[in-house]
Amino acid sequence: MSSKPTIAFVFPGRIDHVEPTLPLCRGLVKRDLQVEYVCDAAFRDAIRETGAIFHDVEDICAEHGINFKEMLVDCLAEYAEDNSGDPAWGNIFGSIATEKLIPVFLDFFRSLSPKVVVYCPIRCPYAHFASQVLRIRDVSLLTEPGPGSMIREVRKFGETPGQLAERIRSNTANAKAVEGIRALLKKVLSLNTFEPLCHENYTQLNLVATLQSLADPLSEKDACVYFAQGNKFEFLGPLRDPFSPEETCSELMDEIREAVYTRSDIVYVSMGQITGDDPRHGWNASFGDNLLTGKQICHAIYRVMFRELGKAKVGPTPLVIFTVGKHGT
């Protein structure tokens, strides 16, 4: 076992959640800390490039007889048995997978003995609850635009937060999982059966990878709940590699300032969701109901963007910023 202090990261296999954590991992490793990162195998190389030790979530779950991906699909089927409509709310707001994964991460953290656990509060609440049981200090890293972003997630299901909380309360399979978590943690938790949704997923210190000025608004009622719970949200802005050369960032900021000064349009195009050769989200992949490959999606967006920007207009030339990154295409 390493003599270095260990920090465990637990994040879902989603590029928008993982990518902002990589500069942080690299910085911690450079400061002689050992980072152990649990994620999907699609991000193995990207995580190892930071110097962190990669752990495949499927391998960890397999030790407990759980097929991670099949389990997530089965959970949705359980939610669907009791409710009409799309059961996809269970991916974020349901408790069935959380109940199954808390024991898995209790064993994993016991074997690892981390000093701190850094986790995604939206997709990986089981890491938070396991940390609480073992009294390990934990910090959430929210890659969404603040805790107010949950309102946008709820709207995807055509409901208000109160309506979705009622649907969650009335779901038999979810209610059983909630009782199981309460018994395991020996604590009474609402677990998204009451508003604000996801409020128990946060810990005392919560980092947010955006500026406060760009965060989704938080209602006064919800803000009071977080204040009463002692939840502190630190808005860090976009996370970048502190050990990368400064020149490129400085030049870009100079161009942005010039565009603002001349009142030029600024257009930002992110390639973050097109993840290389990933079979589900890569350059040549089409997945689920989406019949277009990543390449076709990008080409379509580019054509539309340049067609619109190419229209004759009075004024300065717009500044167009593309972010591609190591893990895009």
Q: How far apart are CA 4 and CA 292, in angstroms?
A: 46
> Residue 251 burial by CB count (10 A; 0-12/13-18/19+): exposed, middle or buried?
exposed
Helix (H) or strand (E) holding 25: helix 22-30
- The pLDDT assigned to 254 comes to 84
Q: If residue 322 lies in a helix (H) or strand (E), which one and from where to where?
A: strand 319-323
Give the helix/strand (H/E) hosting 270.
strand 266-270
Contact in structure between 140 and 207 (CB atoms under 8 Å): yes
Residue indicated by tokens 């097109």: 274
Quick count: other Cβ atoms within 10 Å of Cβ 186?
Answer: 7
Cα maximum dimension of the chain: 66
Angle of helix 172-185 versus helix 161-170 axis, rounded to 10:
80
Closest CA to 146 of 208, 232, 202: 208
pLDDT digits (tens, 9 = 90+) for 157-173: 889 999 999 999 999 99
Are 181 and 187 contacting, i.e. CB atoms less than 8 angstroms apart? no
Q: Which domains does the chain have, with CATH numbers?
A: 6-235 (3.40.50.2000), 247-323 (no CATH)
Beta bridge partners of 140: 119, 206
Cut 0.85: pTM above it: no
pLDDT digits (tens, 9 = 90+) for 7-31: 999 999 888 899 899 999 999 999 9
Token digits for 300? 């379509």
Q: Per the structure block, which two tokens stand in for 196?
A: 């604000």
Give the span between the Cα atoms of 212 and 237, in whole angstroms.
8
3-state secondary structure of 106: helix
Low-confidence residues of the chain: pLDDT under 70: 1-2, 83-85, 240-249, 270-281, 286-290, 311-314, 323-329
